[in-house]
Structure 1
Amino acid sequence: MAQLRNSIGNAAVSLTPAFRPVSLVGDGHEPFQRLILTVMSLHSYSRCWLHLIWGTLHRERILQREAAAGVSRYLSEYSQTKGLYMKANHVNADHVHTLIDLPTGLSIEAAVQLLKGSSSHWINANDIAPGKFA
């Protein structure tokens, strides 16, 4: 079998785990005694970046500069406590941007609910914005 080479002549490295079929065979007396297993690499790699954007109710410009800085800090700290790696966030007067690396055990829906719900609750609890923030 020919070995793959990259553009500078070195052997190419694949990030895909190697799959090797392994057969476990019984004594052959039972018709369905043969079992085939697939052995996968013990190390798996997953990376799913999400750019989440959500806005204020009716896109009202209610998050002023000081409030936006506080919300940004809160989102960074909260995401760490929940095991979300937040690469960046930016809070505007009427909407929020976040870039997160979604863990494999968390759905997109759950991640959005955590970030939107907790930030809304924190804003209301700390009187960051006038009125009730939703």
Structure 2
Amino acid sequence: MSHSKTKTWIHAVFSTKNRQPLIRKTVRRAIHQLIRQQLIDQSCYLDSLNSVDDHVHLLFLLNPQRLVAEVVKHVKGSSSHEINRQNLIPEQFVWQTGYGAFSGSESQVERVRQYIAHQEEHHQKLTFAEEYHQFLNFHGLSGEENGEVGNR
């Protein structure tokens, strides 16, 4: 092969610090736009983005010149900086330290899109903590073994 080709879909999820309900409907669109801009800055294509009061889900194509960790760090750091700079919410805004990032195949993209699109309905039945533990179990990860603790 004379050229390298990659297509890595990432479903990322991260929450507000201590899972505080800071992503209110009144500021959700603005926060989403800040996150979208940070992914553009990292040359990553954002396919889907949605949130509820205490966490966000993203589906994006990873830029092959970037690491997942550096993209997520940039998105979280720059978006929280802008949320605070623009005074979008009265409290100091901080994302929780950790995050989940799960790769998915092309055949699962539509399923992930739908999952992200229906967050409000989904979280009428399940808390973020329950959802996140389901992700860890589904992907063969155990929370405590991988440094996941309650409200870090």
Q: Give the aligned partner of residue 36 of structure 2.
A: 76
Q: TM-score, normalised by structure 2?
A: 0.58
Structure 1 residue 45: deviation in Å? 1.4
- 8 Å CA contact retained: 1:62, 1:130: no
Q: Cα deviation per residue 1:66-121 (whole Å; 9 max; x = unaligned)?
A: 21111111222232232111111112211011111111110111011011111111
- 8 Å CA contact retained: 1:64, 1:93: yes
CA distance in 2: counterparts of 1:58 and 1:42, whole angstroms: 48
Q: TM-score, normalised by structure 1?
A: 0.65
Residue 11 of structure 2 aligns to a residue whose secondary structure is strand
Q: Counterpart of 1:103 in structure 2: which amino acid?
A: N
Q: Give the aligned partner of residue 117 of structure 1.
A: 77
1:45 is aligned to 2:5 = yes
Q: Counterpart of 1:76 in structure 2: which amino acid?
A: R
- 8 Å CA contact retained: 2:14, 2:57: yes
Consecutive unaligned residues of structure 1, counting only runs of 5 or more, are: 1-40
Q: Give the aligned partner of residue 19 of structure 1.
A: none
Q: Cα deviation per residue 1:44-68 (whole Å; 9 max; x = unaligned)?
A: 2101111111101111111211211
Structure 1 stretches of 4+ with a deviation exceeding 4 A read: none
Q: Which structure is larger by alpha-carbon Rg, 1 or 2?
A: 1
- 8 Å CA contact retained: 1:69, 1:91: no
Q: Give the aligned partner of residue 18 of structure 2.
A: 58
Consecutive unaligned residues of structure 2, counting only runs of 5 or more, are: 95-152
- 8 Å CA contact retained: 1:74, 1:119: yes
1:93 is aligned to 2:53 = yes
CA distance in 1: counterparts of 2:9 and 2:88, whole angstroms: 29
Structure (1/2) with the larger helix percentage: 2
Residue 103 of structure 1 aligns to a residue whose secondary structure is coil
User: CA RMSD of the aligned region, Å?
Assistant: 1.2
CA distance in 1: counterparts of 2:30 and 2:70, whole angstroms: 23
Q: How many residues align?
A: 94
Counting aligned pairs with the same residue, the percent is 26
